[in-house]
Amino acid sequence: MTHKIARVSFIFVFLFVMPRADGATVKLFLKDGSYQLVSSYEVRGDRVRYYSLERSQWEEVPKSLVDFEATQKAEEDAKAQQKRALDEAKQIEQERYEKAENQGYEVAPGVRLPQEEGVYSLDGMRVVRLIQSSAEVTTDKKRVALMVAVPGPFLKSRSLVLLPGPKAAVRLGQYLPVFYVQSADGLGAKLELIKVKPGKQARLVETVESRGGVGKPAELRAAVPLERTQVAPGVYKLTPNRALEPGEYALGELIQQKLNLDLWDFGIGATPGK
């Protein structure tokens, strides 16, 4: 990119619209309020060229249609949200490994669950409480508009379910973790273990595809089979049927085969930033 900058006041804008080199997920906002989910973008004359994560290809729009201020604000908000999540993780560092309660269910000799409801993992001889995180659904609004204009069974719309941040705050050291779900409503019978795809600023949980309004939307996710046993009233034991690879995971509740967006996320491997 070889634009000449004639005035100092243009330098900030020039730097802001340079293509992203880190592959981060960016919401490129348009002035009509919609946005494109992109990995990078750049200004070329009166056009803005971007790489669409929805369609995995380069596309262009007129520069006059792009809301750079909203795009920058969205990036700053995403960074602030990630920082808040990490700060929260630091605050609960001492609480992650729950002290055993004498009255809780015994998960190992001398190790018991707390009395409170929640999702826990036995990490060695320590009980770790998993943190619940909220995922976000991002929609390709341009494709939805096209489907409305040209209805037909051959056009697909796709949404992405994303967790904020590149890694979960909770890290487990066991490659074959055992989970205990303590809940009065039988939550343990409805949880699914999902392999999450990490990115620079977000983690992909699943994609939701529909074809021109025909049939039910398909939810596509990398589920890991679980062995499930009710070990006590209100307590379920969940064990993956194989050792987990290092990476990002989440436990999610299925409600009539649809995934609840409030997930218990964790990672197998190093603490974020290490």
Q: What is the pLDDT of residue 273?
A: 46
Please name each of the domains of the chain with its CATH number. Answer: 8-74 (2.30.30), 92-268 (no CATH)
Tens digit of pLDDT for each residue in 53-97? 888 899 999 999 999 999 889 888 888 888 888 888 777 765 555
Is-contact 182 118, C-beta < 8 A? yes
**Separation between Cα atoms, residue 66 and residue 28, nearest integer Å:** 7
Tell me whether strands 126-129 and 262-268 are parallel, antiparallel or unpaired.
Answer: unpaired
For the chain, counts of helices (H) and of strands (E) = 3, 23
pLDDT confidence of 272, banded at 50, 70, 90? very low
C-alpha to C-alpha distance for 85 and 164, rounded to whole angstroms: 9
pLDDT of res. 219: 84
pLDDT per residue as tens digits for the range 178-203: 999 999 999 999 999 999 999 888 99
CA distances from 191 to 142, 221, 264 (A): 33, 14, 10
SS3 1: coil
Range 206-219 average pLDDT: 72
Rg of the chain on CA atoms, in Å: 22
Q: How far apart are CA 179 and CA 229, in angstroms?
A: 11
